[in-house]
Structure 1
Amino acid sequence: MSTAPARLPTEERQAEIVTAALELAKETSPGLITTSDIAAGVGVSQGALFKHFPTKDAIWLAAMGWVRGQLLARLEKAADQAASPMDALAGMFKAHVGFVASHPGVPRFIFHELQRAADSPVKQEVRKLLQAYRKLLRRQLDAAVARGQVSPKVDLEAAATLFVGVVQGLVMQSMLSGNAAAIKGQADAVFAIYRRGIEELA
C-alpha cells in the first residue's frame, strides 16, 4: 500500500512547506535548517520541494510574506474591533503578542535574517511589514490624541517606535527563557506602563 503524500494544489503545498520551515525554526537556527529538513517536515522528497520553491531562500521569502500578511491582518482586526483608539492600541499589542506565542519560530527566523549583512529580499519584506505596522500605529495614535486619550505633547513617531520596541523586548525575553507562551502573562502589565507614559506626559 502506497504511503506517498497526497497531491495537493500548489498553493496548499507551498503553505505546508512554509509552515514546516517556521516550525523547524522553533528549535533550530534558520541558518542550519536544510531543504532536506524542510522536505522531511512536510513528508515529501527534496525534488518535490524544489518543484514549488527553487531555493531555500525562496522558501524563507514566502515565509516572510506569510508573516507579513497574517500579522497585519490580526493587527487590523484588533484595531477595527476596538471601541476607542486606546483600546485599539491595546488590542494590537495583544494581537502581536498572541501571534508570537502561537508562532515562536517567526521571531527566530526574522532575527536571523536581520543579522545577515546583505540586503536580502527577506529584509525588504521585513521593512514593508514595519512600514505598514507604523502606519497602523500612527493612525491610532493620531486618533487617540484627537480623542484626548493621549497627551498632545507626545512625540508620536517615538511612541510608535517604543510600541514596537516593547513588543520586541518581550519577544527577546521569551526567546531567552525558551517559553514563548510566557509572553502573554506579561503583556497586560507591560502595556499598562506604556499606556500611562503616553497618557500622562507632562
Structure 2
Amino acid sequence: MERRPALELASTIRHDGDGGVTDDLATAEGTARWIHEQGDLPAGGVPAGGLVVDEDLRLGIVALRRAVRALFARAVAPAPPSPADAHRLMPADEALAHVNAVAAREQVVPRLEWPEGGSPAVRLLSAQDDARVRLLAALARSAIDFLAGPQREQLRACTAPRCVRYFVKGHGRQEWCKPSCGNRARAARHYRSHRSAGGEATGA
C-alpha cells in the first residue's frame, strides 16, 4: 500500500471513537509514538528510532500539520472541509508559504541507485545534520508531492457523523473514509428519515 505521510500527518487529528476528537500530537510522548509508527519517512533519511522528540519539535510538527490541513481544505473546496478545524483554518496563502519554508530548510541532492538485477531508484542525500530538520522537511516535501500530484483530485473530507478525517477516494462510489463511517452515515440517514416520516404522520 502506498504511503502518504502528509495524509497520515493530517489524520493525527481524528475521531476518538467516543463522540469526540483526539490529537495524537498533543504531547511530546504521543508525537514520538506517531513518528515511530511511520517508520523511516520516504526520501527523508530520517530514522524513527533515536530521534529525541522535545516540545520544540512537537510544536513544529503541529504547525506543519495546521498548514497541511488548511491546504487540504482548499483542495476539497467547494465541498466542506473537515469539521475538526473548519472554524480556525490557517489562511491558504500563509499555509502555502509555511509548507514551502519548512521544505526549504533542508538542501537535498538526488542520487540514482541501480542495483544489479534490480530497478533504478532515486535516493535523496542530505547535507543537514539535524534529524529534526530533516524530519520536518521530509513531511513538508510529502505534502508538496501529494498536493501537486494526481491524488489531490481524489482527496475528500469524510462526511460521516463525528468523523474528521481526510481520505483519498479509492473508487468512484466511495463516500466515506472507511466502512465503519459508511455504516454510521447510513444509520444516521435512516434515523433522520424515520423521524421525518414520524413527524409527518403526527402532523397529519
TM-score, normalised with respect to structure 2: 0.30
Higher strand share: 2
Q: Tell me which protein shows more helix as a share of its residues.
A: 1
Rg larger in structure? 2
